[in-house]
Structure 1
């Protein structure tokens, strides 16, 4: 390959910027597209060299034309070709280690794809900075495409750069990569680079780097190559060998093949059937040549630049050459060569490919079934489903299909359906299960998937069939546990307790641990809703005591164990259990699974409620503000708890990105309630009320989660000075407390009771009554450990006490609230308290300032810079904070020092010795 990169300086500079950004901790993704031969690999080679110079670990993997036959091929290729320390690090992750040579795939314990993805994230974090390149995405299997999307969305603060290349001329209208590219290109972290043909001048420069060429030949090459560097190289090589120049690239490529000896052509044709790469020994066996003749033929091919040495074998210099040679094969010749490879290969996926191409249907069925089982074990459910479906498609065309597949048609179809569901296609799974004989196992899975699709009627009917048709105790236990789950939130929920008791008894007798834990968790949720929290706690503790072998069930148990602690106000115990669950998720590669994510959300909330706001803000930084999907939007919404309370500059940007997702009920509930608070803190109660009403409308009637947005809505009405709608809001909250989602009442934990009391206190405030006892009850209710809400309630209690003439008591509550607000760096609350303190004349003494200033550490830092004469903008730049935040700090300083100008503040600070 030519050592000089010509005509791609702009594209390379763009990719290097992404690399530099990754080096600074802002992960990025680049997609490089262009026609075949346009120079994508050459550009990536240059980028990899730059990355290595800058200390990056470089992983490069290539997709193959076998497509879905080999799941995660580029990842396996990248790990196999990595430096020894990288391979050792990968081997330490069980899900990645099995992609390395000589490692057997482990039995599946559930969630294999999520574990693999999580393991790769863990590895990249260990190896950072990392450049991970996936070449030829147009041939990528489904799981590799999913992996690319996952990495593009999940790597944010890691020093990781992901680059993918693809052929634009191969992307027909229905190509599966097209939708992936469209999705990724919308992300702000993704750079799109499309390589255009080189101009005539650039092409002339490029050709002259290949060797000596006269003006006439140069002109002919530039004209014929049409800006394609690979075509130019082939034209140059043909001219150098004295060949005539046929029309078209394929004809040109074959003209270079046809000058080989007969043995050389024979070897090259065999190599083309193998694909882009082939091992030396395998190629020799298929060629059928004696060793000496084979080696001479290979030497001739390599010397002409058609194949290059690649590890333990050979690779075509360009995929276009392999395609041209393969296309030129006669039908019988192609079939015989595929059959020859099939006799020698051991990989089930490759065997299935070669058997099908060689028209060996029996071999293809057996290999496809086994390839599906292998894909299932390595966490590639989409490919497993495709392999199983291919085997099922051949079933009626061969004799003894069950013997070849190693299982019955029903068993194989069941596997296929489960893999479809695991790859996210519940609809396909349901379609397949419905045509199978309704065994207990089939009906139980059908019930499970229908429940996930919100078809409650269908799920209950399927679960009933599963129970009725159970052929053994283990199957009965699983069917009963699923049946109980389908009834949990419906009109027959009173049957859940008896069903769970029966499921537990059956599961324990059959040693079906997964069914036992499932029944325990459903029963725990049921009794918790009924108000028997102590029993619920005991049940989830039992469910969490060991491991079932089903990782999803184990994480689900730990999430509910931590959740019940949290909802009882037992924050320290909740944190301990959540941390255990998070460790389990991380160790098994399931950090980003449903319950792995839920556990981290819960841990964030525990930090927030317990007043551990620096830790909460650190976690929130990982919740990317620039979102493109609904799950990302919901994740992003959590960060608003801390960002709104601290008035961080990112709030406006985050809300802008969240706005397109407000049609979803959960996203609207999460983000609009906090948008309402943000608007209220910034003096816009009308916007606050609109956001609060939208959050309320997103909650089903009877759900206690409505209490918080109702309280915020009443706060907005009080600020607006109107009672219109206040009674309706209060009634909505009371209905949720009294009836619950099933109309029978429900358990309110400490936080729920506190929000219910705040609704009542806010309602009185709307009507002009500052009720001391109402706000005292709110303070006492939130004082279970909810640091911030206790301080906010003390603010209102102080107002009520002052209005009632109890000045000393008001001062005490105000000081406690101000102390908490300062420690939390809750800027809006602190500003509101200072404003109230000024109105109430709660100053710290005479003579022009408080005795100690009452300043936070950050305020003292700002004050020192004010004393130096700096502007707000200069202070913001010095402290790396927003100018708006500086303004709030300066206002707080003036209030605390009881002065009106910056000059007076500096003078007061010097008198009080605050400048150090």
Structure 2
């Protein structure tokens, strides 16, 4: 009997399979999904995902399968490398187009630069995401309980970032191996909260299912089947082994490990020797390597392997050579080895792998197990260097940290490793920082004797860890230590960086100037760019935006060889261009950065993401809304960065009046405690509430946002302006002064064109709150936004048209209204379009004359537009245009119209989607402004004033 062939029918897992197929179908339709399959060893996880893979292939999916391995220090990204080995066709082309992924394959690891940088990991992650997006893909990662940290980080990244791709990611793991402190536990808890992740737990098969399974395996005797079912306790793998033992006439011993060993002990001595060597190698082993360790000649080795394979213990496995049929077999044989035997075999594997140029991580594992400390030290340092080049900072840190632990125990450590102790510690700290642990990085630096280099790095890590005062002290010590050359340039640049947001801010500029001078003299290009960015930031902080833009342009124009610094410079240049109103130039700069990020796999790095955010906002500003929406920000969010990303989509969705707004806000609501998410999404939720006729709710959002923003935050300006809009709709003046004060406080730092426009908008809204429709104020707002901000210009024209109507300049109001209507129609801005339509009905403007050429512009045209022409008697519209103006708000006019129809407050509230109490407030304001005491008198006065 060959157990591996008895897999044609899936027994007892139809419910679990249906859940996995649902994720697969969703992926096929363009909604990526992740499934995590857990269960005890031998419970059937592999069989279940194998069935899923078969269904996926039938549906046109490319299927990639990778397996983690149990090594003392796992190879970084081993399951990903495993999955990429056999890609073909379109996926092969996609793989070859991404050199960073090629480093994972045999012979490719040394292709990258030798530097510890988190950017390398971001490149790899971005490249994986782009690679998977090329066609429908099912990616299966098995045995995640053995995954290295970088693989776990990749799993989290993909689970969060995969949204609109046709990708199904499935991971399997053993639940019985997850002890309380197992690192996968935290990952599973984190992923379990994500909406895109489906958790599938495999429980033991019930008695009927087990009986069917044993019968499929070849069990024919009823008593034997019953005994196997009783003892297997719902575990399919255990059932296979029990039935195999019974068929072979072996005793069905207690415990799975004993049963597995009893089957192995029936092998001949040569076969047992080969099996023990394979167990030391791990789950998979190369043919030639295993034969060399066994010491058998070709014929004897082949006979031994034939015997092992025929008993179903090991199976041939493609390019690897051989693999244990189940990990439990390997574990049982390895555990049963005598200590001396285990040490000898590990030493032999290390010797052979060293001669073949094997993986440094595997060498380090075998050297340590063989108690060869010198070999372990050298291999650990080399493994750390290779992990750096692969973009696996966690593994690099672990290898380097282990080497530090061995350093004092190995003579001639420097000669063996090619570095000194301080250099190794610096590298270890850099790896810790790159994996996000700046505190550990700082601890490595504190353990070294202080020097200029040590203090400079310590300052850098402390600053990134949020310990600003300690960072300033360390940076100052670095400069005072008297470094020269490039190190002095870096120390000065770091010192400038640490003092920028402190009480010693005034020192930042001179320090950066000095850093720039030294950097140019010594060729320290990274320090030069860093100094330029600080100088540009100083100029921007003091309001000298022209100088800031010039400096950012220099940063963006020069290739420093440091991708992170280059993307940072391009982003800031595009940002300041956009804020200055140079939208076309900003778009071109941002596009250059986006291309660079995409070409290097850094689309999802910090500045790669920021550049795409900025480009989205430029599209929104210039009215390219379809292009903006095509950039795609998913609604399913599980973290604060995802919530920020999702919040951007609200700019266009709220303006379009899409039903998706409510769903997106529901996902974002749990993240409102975060300042950035609150500013973005609650600020736009306030606008959404206003368009929905609920100014009270809008004001609640505005108040909540302003409560978490710093008083001088320029973001307060827009939010305060929206709050004043809400107060005007409510007919309230209380709090208006505070809101205008917050707007003005936010303008204390230098503002770009958009910021200045929003401040004017806040001032104009303040006049509306107090019943004054100030045409001059709104004309200033229109002119301020008319640098290219299409939507805000149209919204401001809406208010300007209202103000001009109230002032009696009907013709000018009509022109502004028509321009706003044309823009709203072109954008598809439904809420604004409806507001303009209502204004047009009240003013009896009629349809927009889009086919007619524009009339004469300028003061003369404005002055004559409202006068009757020769031979024409003044009509009603002319009489209305000369009627005394009554400063009713837009909402008050809507209420007044419905009052004239005789509707009570409740029905008016239903029509306008506002509370009856709010209607009552508006009616009271209307009576006061018209100087009457009843609704009937109000209607009559309104008709006389031409308001109805």
Q: Normalised by the size of structure 2, how large is the TM-score?
A: 0.87
- Could you tell me which residue of structure 2 aligns to residue 332 of structure 1? 340
- Could you tell me which residue of structure 1 aligns to residue 23 of structure 2? 18
1:833 Cα deviation after fit = 0.9
1:463 Cα deviation after fit = 1.5
Which range is displaced more, 437-446 or 277-286?
437-446
Distance (Å, rounded) in 1 between the aligned partners of 2:481 and 2:564: 26
Q: Give yes or no for the alignment of 1:780 onto 2:791.
A: no
- Could you tell me which residue of structure 2 aligns to residue 719 of structure 1? 729
Distance (Å, rounded) in 1 between the aligned partners of 2:817 and 2:744: 30
1:84 Cα deviation after fit = 6.3
8 A Cα contact 2:219 2:243, kept in partner: no
- Could you tell me which residue of structure 2 aligns to residue 878 of structure 1? none
- Could you tell me which residue of structure 1 aligns to residue 587 of structure 2? 575
1:223 Cα deviation after fit = 1.0
- Could you tell me which residue of structure 2 aligns to residue 45 of structure 1? 50
Q: Deviations over 1:561-620 (max 9, x none)?
A: 10111011000000000000001111111101100000000000000011111111222x
Which range is displaced more, 61-70 or 514-523?
61-70
Which range is displaced more, 290-299 or 80-89?
80-89
Distance (Å, rounded) in 2 between the aligned partners of 1:701 and 1:187: 34
**Correspondent of 2:609 among 597, 603, 607:** 597
1:733 Cα deviation after fit = 1.9
1:279 Cα deviation after fit = 0.2
SS at 2:163's partner residue? coil
Q: Give yes or no for the alignment of 1:462 onto 2:474.
A: yes
Q: Give yes or no for the alignment of 1:303 onto 2:310.
A: yes
Structure 1 residues without counterparts, runs of 5 or longer = 741-745, 854-886, 889-916
Q: Deviations over 1:836-870 (max 9, x none)?
A: 1111111249xxxx9999xxxxxxxxxxxxxxxxx
Distance (Å, rounded) in 2 between the aligned partners of 1:732 and 1:653: 31
Written as runs of structure 1 = structure 2, the 5 A alignment for 1:381-420 is 381-420=393-432
Structure 2 residues without counterparts, runs of 5 or longer = 853-910, 913-948
Distance (Å, rounded) in 1 between the aligned partners of 2:405 and 2:370: 17
- Could you tell me which residue of structure 2 aligns to residue 282 of structure 1? 289
- Could you tell me which residue of structure 2 aligns to residue 495 of structure 1? 507
Written as runs of structure 1 = structure 2, the 5 A alignment for 1:540-551 is 540-551=552-563
1:37 Cα deviation after fit = 0.5
8 A Cα contact 1:68 1:142, kept in partner: no
Which range is displaced more, 536-545 or 172-181?
536-545
**Correspondent of 2:521 among 491, 509, 530:** 509
**Correspondent of 2:650 among 640, 643, 655:** 640
- Could you tell me which residue of structure 2 aligns to residue 152 of structure 1? 159
- Could you tell me which residue of structure 2 aligns to residue 182 of structure 1? 189
SS at 1:158's partner residue? coil
**What is the aligned-residue RMSD (CA, Å)?**
1.7
Written as runs of structure 1 = structure 2, the 5 A alignment for 1:170-569 is 170-312=177-319, 313-345=321-353, 346-569=358-581
1:212 Cα deviation after fit = 4.6
Which range is displaced more, 407-416 or 152-161?
407-416
Q: Deviations over 1:635-687 (max 9, x none)?
A: 11111111111111111121122122221212111111111111111111111
1:68 Cα deviation after fit = 3.9
- Could you tell me which residue of structure 2 aligns to residue 884 of structure 1? none
Q: Deviations over 1:359-379 (max 9, x none)?
A: 111211111111111101100
8 A Cα contact 1:39 1:229, kept in partner: yes
Distance (Å, rounded) in 2 between the aligned partners of 1:108 and 1:355: 24
**Correspondent of 1:810 among 803, 813, 837:** 813
8 A Cα contact 1:647 1:826, kept in partner: yes
1:103 Cα deviation after fit = 1.8
SS at 1:169's partner residue? coil
SS at 1:131's partner residue? strand
Distance (Å, rounded) in 1 between the aligned partners of 2:291 and 2:19: 44
- Could you tell me which residue of structure 2 aligns to residue 680 of structure 1? 690
Which range is displaced more, 55-64 or 643-652?
643-652
- Could you tell me which residue of structure 1 aligns to residue 827 of structure 2? 824
Which range is displaced more, 433-442 or 192-201?
433-442
Distance (Å, rounded) in 1 between the aligned partners of 2:660 and 2:186: 30
Q: Deviations over 1:876-909 (max 9, x none)?
A: xxxxxxxxxxx99xxxxxxxxxxxxxxxxxxxxx
Distance (Å, rounded) in 2 between the aligned partners of 1:82 and 1:41: 20
User: 1:146–1:104: structure 2 CA closer, same or farther, 3 Å change rule?
Assistant: closer
- Could you tell me which residue of structure 1 aligns to residue 879 of structure 2? none
Q: Give yes or no for the alignment of 1:31 onto 2:36.
A: yes
1:145 Cα deviation after fit = 0.5
SS at 1:548's partner residue? coil
Written as runs of structure 1 = structure 2, the 5 A alignment for 1:668-747 is 668-737=678-747, 740=748, 746-747=749-750
8 A Cα contact 1:644 1:678, kept in partner: yes
Q: Deviations over 1:723-781 (max 9, x none)?
A: 111111112222232xx3xxxxx322111110111111111111111111111000000
Q: Give yes or no for the alignment of 1:769 onto 2:772.
A: yes
1:444 Cα deviation after fit = 2.0
**Correspondent of 1:755 among 755, 758, 773:** 758
SS at 2:557's partner residue? coil
- Could you tell me which residue of structure 1 aligns to residue 103 of structure 2? 98
Q: Normalised by the size of structure 1, how large is the TM-score?
A: 0.90
- Could you tell me which residue of structure 1 aligns to residue 875 of structure 2? none
**Correspondent of 1:798 among 789, 792, 801:** 801
- Please say which structure displays the higher CA radius of gyration: 2
